[in-house]
Amino acid sequence: MQDSVTVRMAAPAEQIWGLVSDITNTGRFSPETFAAEWLGGATEPAVGVKFRGHVNRNGWGLKYWTVCRIIACEPGREFAFTVFGPGGVQVNTWRYQFEPVDGGTDVTESFQLHANPVLRGYWLLAGRARRKTNVNGMRETLNRIKAVVEE
């Protein structure tokens, strides 16, 4: 119920982190989440800050929004948030990790579905297809970021 993708980018970790952690950029990079906005008066990332993500699931028209809460926010190192479903149930966690390397940064995006009976059932029924969609989406997101930071 998890996976990750890593892409090397010829840019400093802090620059890439700045793009990723500003959730108003989400629609620019994600193939499924087309917009996001800060909640509760927030204007920048910090642990505990909430935002709303607007999703076009699988790109075929099922549109909805989710509330997310930032759980890791370390400039140039890590940015992560948990997505909440109906009733405040934790659905999954998305994480970006930044590893400086010669000439740039290895950026890893990952997801991990939270363990509960409903999500386990979902994963048994649709997990293979959803994992493929998520992996392809993470690769597309990271390559879009790469294109911007390497301009």
Which positions ≥6 away from 75 have C-beta within 8 Å?
A: 14, 17, 18, 21
| Domain range list for the chain | 2-149
**Confidence at residue 123, expressed as pLDDT on a 0 to 100 scale:** 65
Q: Compare 8 and 130 and report the one with higher pLDDT.
A: 8
Over residues 24-46, mean pLDDT:
95
Could you report the per-residue pLDDT of 47-98, keeping only the tens digit for each?
999 999 998 876 566 788 899 999 999 999 999 999 998 888 888 999 999 9
Please name the residue that has the structure tokens 């930071």: 149
pLDDT recorded at residue 119: 64
Residue appearing with tokens 């709303």: 52
Bigger pLDDT: 26 vs 61: 26
Q: What is the pLDDT of residues 131-148, one digit of tens each?
A: 788 899 999 999 999 999
- Cβ neighbours, 10 Å, residue 112: 15
Q: What's the token pair of residue 120?
A: 């386990």
pLDDT at 131: 79
The architecture that CATH gives domain 2-149 is 2-Layer Sandwich (3.30)
pLDDT for res 54: 92
